[in-house]
Amino acid sequence: MDRYERPLYNFLLALVRDGDLAADCTQDTFLRAYENLGKGKPVTTSWLYTVARNRAMDEFRRRRRLEPTDEALEHQFVEHHADETFAVQATLDQLAPHDREVLYLVDVAGFKTDEIAAMLGLQAAAVRQRLSRARERFRAVYRGPA
Amino acid sequence: MTHDQIRDLLARRTELTPLEDATVQAHLEGCPECRIAARDYDRQMAALRSLPLVPPPPVLRDRIMAEIQRPPARRFRMVYGLGPLAAAAVIALGVMSFHHAPHPTASSRQTLGATHTPLPPTARPTTKAHVSRRHISRHTGRRGRSAATPLPAVPGSGVALGAPPTSVPPTAALPPAPAPVTTVRHVGIARTSRHAAAPTAPPAAGHTPSPGSPPTTGARPTATASPGPAVSPTPSRTAIIAAPLQPSPTPTP
């Protein structure tokens, strides 16, 4: 848990953009992991991200809350405010969840597109296309420091 | 390669094969537009990688550990404990509706089969005449309630064979029937009178249709033709049982 708590929480935060919701999803993910471990089933990094991602998607469906609240964002990121960080976060906020998801999994979590395809249940070509489009959308919005 | 193909490769530049990388480099040397895109992608990747990881709330670990140390039966009590309760409630409702609703009898069907009521001109022309109820029941297997037709006050009667209009066979092939035989148009009245055509087909005395009842096709018959207070139709037991058992999507990795 020491190793994965923060990355999973940040992945979920990038998806749901709500600190409390991300914490709930992280908790559920670890509980599922402990359940699996208790049954003798393996728990891998991909498995953890898949469960976390599915949990977040479940929340999206349940709450129909695709856009975050300003209070949650301000609460989460004000202490890390810096020009570059703020610009990246502001850009991510304007992207769709599936764009944020693939960008985070590739650039932050460091997964390959094949691994992401296995996680999301997609073809690798579909993930690559999604990544390419997400990069273009990010590029269209991002105004980083010169 | 086209620009779009190069962009696709640039988007996953960290996992390119040597051949793909060489192709990209060759293209970038002659394409300033894609060079700008490559530079932007590189900045984008660096910016995302440099994102600081937000520390989770300190209470999160305590919550997780508390949940883990809690026995599973208590941990998932709310999830799994409601299942048997819901099942028991559904069974109880089903039994109650079964006992409170009168059952159609063979005599009642025969009585209905011997009656005939002239149709008002506003009745929905779902079918032609001359289809016996027995014929309908063979095709549909459903039973309904005749709410608009005045039925003789025979004890146990009042049960009509209901069938959706779409399930009635083509009328051209149906032979004409003698006058006393109850027709499918009778069924059409029963269905329409429960919905839109209720004002045009006045109910008989002691046989009040309930417009507020759910329009469940094939609902169990609940009203009788005997004089007395109107009995509102009960939703079918199938609908009652099926309602709480709708599956909810759960993540399954």
Is pLDDT at B143 greater than 70 in this prediction? no
Instruction: State the Cα–Cα distance between residues A53 and A8, nearest whole angstrom.
Output: 9
Instruction: Encode pLDDT of A46-65 as tens digits.
Output: 999 999 999 998 888 887 65
Domain ranges for chain A: 5-141
Q: If pLDDT is split at 50, 70 and 90, which confidence band does A145 have?
A: low
Is pLDDT at B133 greater than 60 in this prediction? no
With 0-12 / 13-18 / 19 or more C-beta atoms within 10 angstroms meaning exposed / middle / buried, residue B11 is buried
In eight-state DSSP terms, residue A40 is: T
Q: At what angle do helices A5-16 and A19-38 cross, to 10 degrees?
A: 130
Instruction: State the Cα–Cα distance between residues A126 and B225, nearest whole angstrom.
Output: 64
Instruction: Encode pLDDT of B103-129 as tens digits.
Output: 554 444 444 444 444 445 444 444 444
Is pLDDT at B145 greater than 90 in this prediction? no
Nearest to A23 among B50, B60, B252 (CB): B60
Give how many domains chain B has, as a whole number: 2
Measured in angstroms, the CA of B248 and the nearest CA of chain A are apart by 10
Q: Is residue B187 part of a domain?
A: yes
Which residues in chain A are closer than 8 Å to B41, comparing Cβ atoms?
Answer: 135, 139
Q: Is residue B221 part of a domain?
A: yes
> Structure tokens of B228?
């007395």
Q: If pLDDT is split at 50, 70 and 90, which confidence band does B97 have?
A: confident
Contact A142, B44 (CB under 8 A): yes
| Nearest alpha-carbon partner for B158 in B123, B112, B213, B201 | B112
Task: Report the residue of A6, A58, A88 to disrupt the B interface, i.e. the one with the largest count of B CBs within 10 Å.
Answer: A88
Where is pLDDT greater, at A49 or B202?
A49
Partnered with residue B145 across adjacent β-strands are B159
> Structure tokens of A4?
């994965």
| Nearest alpha-carbon partner for A11 in A83, B43, A23, B249 | A23
Is pLDDT at B139 greater than 80 in this prediction? no
Instruction: State the Cα–Cα distance between residues A87 and B47, nearest whole angstrom.
Output: 9
**Which of B49, B71, B87 is the endpoint of a domain?**
B49
What phi and psi, each to the nearest 5 degrees, are found at residue B132? Answer: -70, 160
Is pLDDT at B247 greater than 60 in this prediction? no
> Structure tokens of B93?
């409702």
For residues B217 and B119, membership in a common domain is answered with yes
Please name the amino acid found at residue A139.
R
| Nearest alpha-carbon partner for B160 in B120, B111, B209 | B111
Contact B194, B213 (CB under 8 A): yes
Interface size, chain A vs chain B, as Cβ–Cβ contacts under 8 Å:
108
Is pLDDT at B131 greater than 60 in this prediction? no
Average pLDDT over residues B200-210: 42
For residues B220 and B111, membership in a common domain is answered with yes
Partnered with residue B160 across adjacent β-strands are B144
For residues B127 and B226, membership in a common domain is answered with yes
Instruction: Encode pLDDT of B149-167 as tens digits.
Output: 444 444 444 343 433 444 4
B71 contact A CB<8A = no
Q: Is the dihedral of CA B115, B119, B123, B128 positive or negative?
A: positive
Q: Is residue B141 part of a domain?
A: yes
Q: Is residue B93 part of a domain?
A: no
Instruction: State the Cα–Cα distance between residues A141 and A90, nearest whole angstrom.
Output: 9
Fold (CATH) for A5-141:
Arc Repressor Mutant, subunit A (1.10.10)
Q: Exposure pattern of A85-123 as b/e (b: 16+ CB <10 Å)?
A: eebbbebbbebebebbbbbbbbbbbebebebbbebbebe
Q: Is the dihedral of CA A114, A120, A123, A126 positive or negative?
A: negative
User: Residue A55: its pLDDT value, please?
Assistant: 92
Contact B112, B133 (CB under 8 A): yes
Q: Is residue B152 part of a domain?
A: yes
Residue of A nearest to B9 (CA): A132
Helices then strands (H, E): number in chain B? 11, 2
Residue B206's domain comprises 107-231
Is pLDDT at B248 greater than 80 in this prediction? no
For residues B117 and B223, membership in a common domain is answered with yes
Q: Is residue B97 part of a domain?
A: no
For residues B122 and B211, membership in a common domain is answered with yes
Enumerate residues 54 to 73 of chain A having a beta carbon within 8 A of any beta carbon in chain B.
54-55, 57-58, 61
Instruction: State the Cα–Cα distance between residues A135 and B39, nearest whole angstrom.
Output: 12
A10 contact B CB<8A = yes
Which residues in chain A are closer than 8 Å to B62, comparing Cβ atoms?
Answer: none
Angle CA A103–A107–A110, to nearest 5: 120
Write down the mean pLDDT value for chain B: 59
Q: If pLDDT is split at 50, 70 and 90, which confidence band does B76 have?
A: low
With 0-12 / 13-18 / 19 or more C-beta atoms within 10 angstroms meaning exposed / middle / buried, residue B159 is buried
Q: Is residue B193 part of a domain?
A: yes
Residue located via tokens 């006050």: B153
Which residues in chain A are closer than 8 Å to B60, comparing Cβ atoms?
Answer: 5, 9, 23, 26-27
B212 contact A CB<8A = no
Instruction: State the Cα–Cα distance between residues B169 and B148, nearest whole angstrom.
Output: 23
Contact A46, A117 (CB under 8 A): no
Where is pLDDT greater, at B78 or A57?
A57
- ipTM topping 0.90: no
Q: How far is CA B105 from the centre of its chain?
A: 30
User: Residue B187: its pLDDT value, please?
Assistant: 40
